Amino acid sequence: MDPNLFIVSAVIAGAASFLGVFVILRRLALVSDVLSHVALPGVALALLLHIDPFIGAFTALALVTVGIFLIERRFAISIDALVGVAFTVALAIGMILLPDEHAVEALFGDIAHIGKSDMLFGVILGALLIVVTFVLFKRFAHATFSKELSRDEASSDKKAELLFLIALALAIALGIKVVGTLLMGAMLILPVVAAKNIAWSLKSMTAFAVVLGVIEMVGGISVAQTYDVVPGAAIILIGGGVFAASLLFRAFGNQNT
């Protein structure tokens, strides 16, 4: 594998898995999977306008995530319902706009088409997301676990929630080039649920999630290049295998305790 490709895929996987910890802890696994599909019309429009699909994906995701954040608080509508509405509308628009020749790339990703400038951008943005998540880790955790808050704490956690949603939108948009809109949600989920099965604390779960995410991403791309298969599908299949192995580890560990 090209060393530059190894670096960018590892950084993207690390950022997605790091944020994925809070996706799982907040019970947003299905929401995040559906949310990744919201990027489809943005990707389709970007392809039609011959601009970077990342710009289209992030624009669509940012508009939807911020919109959901504001509507959920203003009208007290379930976030699941709002994401469901956004998903169906976005999917319909995306399928109408998406050029047939780019359908596979948009849905499943194609890291082979990532240029050097895209790689540099991916590394910088991925590293920035990792740093931001690390710095705000305690705030994200507090917003996740706290139930009874004072007014000041609640206001602070609303800001943390918005920052988390924006970071999540950036991570999804960044990963779409590698695994596509159809499978990016799984990239956020699989390493974390596998890590949860073998971890003993939040910190160990986070560390395992990042490591497993990198292994799955790099391993999947290596398999895809070796056997000429779709990278996104190979990455997710390896992730599924790692999750199955973690279940066996957990079952075996429970038998010995």
Least confident of 1-15, 32-46, 148-162, 212-226: 148-162
CB 142 within 8 A of CB 34: no
Q: What is the mean pLDDT of residues 115-137?
A: 90
Min mean pLDDT across 21-35, 147-161, 236-250 is at 147-161
State pLDDT tens for residues 52-63. Answer: 888 888 999 888
Q: Name the average pLDDT for the chain.
A: 83
Quote the DSSP letter at residue 132: H
Quick: pLDDT tens for 133-143.
999 998 888 87
Phi-psi region of 76 (alpha: psi -120 to 50; beta: other; left: phi over 0): left
Structural domains of the chain in order of their starting residue, each with its CATH number:
3-181 (1.10.3470.10)
Please, are residues 61 and 35 in contact by the beta-carbon 8 Å criterion?
yes
What is Dmax (Cα atoms) for the chain? Answer: 59
Mean pLDDT of 103-131: 80
Q: How far apart are CA 252 and CA 11, in angstroms?
A: 32
Mean pLDDT of 84-112: 76
pLDDT at 251 over 70: yes
Report pLDDT digits (tens) over 233-247: 888 999 999 999 999
18 vs 207: CA distance, rounded Å: 8
Q: How far apart are the first and last CA of the chain?
A: 42
